Structure 1
Amino acid sequence: MNSTVRYALAAAARGWHVFPLAIGDKRPMRGFTAWEQQATADPEAIRRIWARQPFNIGIACGPSRLVVIDLDVPKDGQRPPAPFDVPGVNDGADAFALVCAQAGQPFPFETFQVRTRKGGLHLYFTAPKGTSLGNTAGRLGWLIDTRASGGYVVGPGSLVNLPDGTGTYEPIHTGAVAPLPAWLVERLRPAPLPPQKPVTVPLAATDRRSAYLRAAITAELERVTGSPPDGHNDALYQASVALGQLVAGGALSESEVTAWLTAAAAQVGQQPGETRRTIASGLRAGARRPRSIAA
């Protein structure tokens, strides 16, 4: 049994849903583009997957009911902006300690922790019940990101070898995962969404083909805007695959489809970066099965 499968099984024993990342990489293995849906906590499935290769480990935060705070280290020459440009703040962990101190809260040491390949820190927390949290980049402060519903982290036991650095993800505190502190829940809670407006699809319904396309596009956009809070990314991926088939068949342009899906995702509060990745992944998957519309 290779070492990564042991780490994957240990993660599953905690109830976390895992999926394979490419060897030496942070990206999902080919064939796992719908990683949030394909992630599993089934030990037998994990043994089958990792028996093939010592894949790195991705942990899907949404299905695992996790919120992971990612405290990064700066790139060469990167300096903290105000208000983090103070003595003692040199990386994301320092910045987070300052955020905690300013909030009158202790640094939440007592939870599962992983040292990342470049010396950063992942703090694992259980997601709050009744509140759907997504991914954030810098909302809490300099070099502080979070991964929750719609996001994943590279799990402990993984070895990443990329041009920007090589290293392992090492667990350094393996105790129980603490609940996300209430004050952080409030800071990470999504802002209220603006009133929904229909996404305009400028296709003239003057013939059967145009009418069919309009109905197909509208249905996929409504799949996204009508999705539940914990299903936005899944709905966006499925809609991207369906419309990607029509793009590949020559019925629609990729730029138009991307714009419509991006607008729909924005209405439900999807983060721009995650939106771009999900749409691109879905369009690629759809392109493998082109669908044309008869005139």
Structure 2
Amino acid sequence: MNATDMLAVALDAVARGWHVFPLRPNSKKPPALHGEKDCPRSGICATTHQGWEQRAMNDPDQVRWFWTSRRYAGCNVGVATGPSGLLVVDLDSVDSPADVPTDGWKRVGVRDGHDVFAVICEEAGQPVPWETLTVDTPSGGRHLYFRAPRDVQLRNTQGATGNGLGWKVDTRGWGGYVVAPGSTTPTGRYELVEDLPVADLPTWLVHRLSPKPVTATTAAPQIASQRLPAYVDAAVRGECHYVAQAAPHEHNAVLYAASGQLGQLVGGGMLPAFQAEQALYAAATHMINGSCGCTEREIRRVIEKGLRAGEQRPRTAPPNKTRRGAA
């Protein structure tokens, strides 16, 4: 497809209310935007690196500038699911005859993510929610688009890991993206096969995908000598909750993001640095020497780096509830 075609793909996605960013031409990853390692620390990144999720755009004029520029013309289109208010269920196909169901999914008739999702729905006593915008992927998979709930932040899941749904069933929410329909790869095109209104994510799936409550082993430590304001305490617990629930493939990204959020409170004088570091480390201990290969040294390095970055964007307490007009 030429540059004009890809501009049309990006504008169509924006017209649907989605937030987009450029992927490399004819590829689904990695994003074409610069990474943290190559960040010039200027412009939009003057204070701290802004990743693809932060830079995803919903302005048609901005999209036209990007997809007609020399650097980004012809780029595939990524849809940042979190900012777009989406939760996409990704039903994967099998890669080869050797790609067989994992333990717990070795059942008659279960061959891929489509079958697993159908079984999940059946066991929950719920109909399979096919009636929504649907995209078929070049590899034979399928993306089911849903409106994410506003009262809970659903993050990515992979397979049966953590609070994931099952073998060959991934989800993309905050921290994730999908390739927009109309984009192409060497193996084919992302095809919009059901151009239906995006349905609400069924309530039972919201419950299945919601992070589990923080347990005593992963909760932020209580330090009696430094009582935190309710707003700050809630922020610490929330970020530590995400860290405690992070899947192996996203340990560093989740830990860095959470450290950055708490670093903003440190920079604003709302949270002692040592307390932020202790809480984050306590929540991240499950990552050490796990399947991802994270070490204690690496965990502490990521926390320190994230806190430093957050401190460059200080955040203080929210406005008093009696004040009006603040967003």
TM-score (ref. length: structure 2):
0.62
Q: Matches of residues 252-291 of structure 1 in structure 2 within 5 Å?
A: 263=281, 266=284
The answer to whether the aligner puts 1:59 opposite 2:87 as a matched pair is: no
- Structure 2 unaligned residues grouped into runs of 5+: 37-50, 223-232, 244-252, 264-276, 309-327
Q: Which residue of 1 aligns with 2:122?
A: 101
Query: Whose helix proportion is higher, 1 or 2?
Result: 1
Specify which structure has the higher proportion of strand.
1
Candidates 131, 150, 153, aligned match of 1:129 = 150
Q: Over aligned residue pairs, what C-alpha RMSD do you find?
A: 3.8
Residue number in structure 1 paired with 2:12: 10
Which deviations, in whole Å up to 9, do the C-alpha atoms of 1:94-125 show, x marking residues without a partner? 11011111111111111011111201000000
**CA shift in 2, pair 1:227/1:98, >3 Å:** closer
SS of the aligned residue for 1:123 comes to strand
Q: Which of the numbers 31, 36, 46 marks the counterpart of 2:34? A: 31
Stretch of structure 1 that moved more, 73-82 or 115-124: 73-82
- 1:32·1:38 contact (CA, 8 Å) conserved in 2? no
Of 15, 20, 23, the match for 2:22: 20
Contact 1:112–1:176 (8 Å) recurs in 2: yes
CA contact (8 A) 2:101 2:167 kept: yes
* Paired residue secondary structure (2:143): strand
Residue 234 of structure 1, CA deviation: 8.9
Secondary structure of 1:74's counterpart equals: coil
- After superposition, where does 1:1-295 map in structure 2 within 5 Å? 2-25=4-27, 26-31=29-34, 34-52=51-69, 53-76=73-96, 77-138=98-159, 139-161=164-186, 166-194=187-215, 195-197=219-221, 225=236, 236-237=256-257, 263=281, 266=284
1:154 CA displacement: 1.4
Task: Work out the CA distance in 1 between the residues paired with 2:255 and 2:102.
Answer: 37
Q: Report the AA paired with residue 28 of structure 1.
A: P
Q: How many residues align?
A: 237
TM-superposed deviation, 1:24: 2.1
In the alignment, is the contact (CA less than 8 A) between 2:255 and 2:284 conserved in 1? no
Q: Is the 8 A contact 1:227 1:235 kept in 2?
A: no
Report the alpha carbon displacement of residue 235 of structure 1 after superposing the two structures with TM.
8.9
Question: Structure 1 residues 95 and 45 mapped into 2: Cα distance closer, same or farther (>3 Å)?
Answer: same
Instruction: Evaluate the alpha carbon distance shift between residue 81 and residue 234 of structure 1 in structure 2; reply closer, same or farther with a 3 A threshold.
Output: closer
The whole-number CA distance in structure 2 between the counterparts of 1:81 and 1:14 is 37
Identity of aligned residues (%): 41
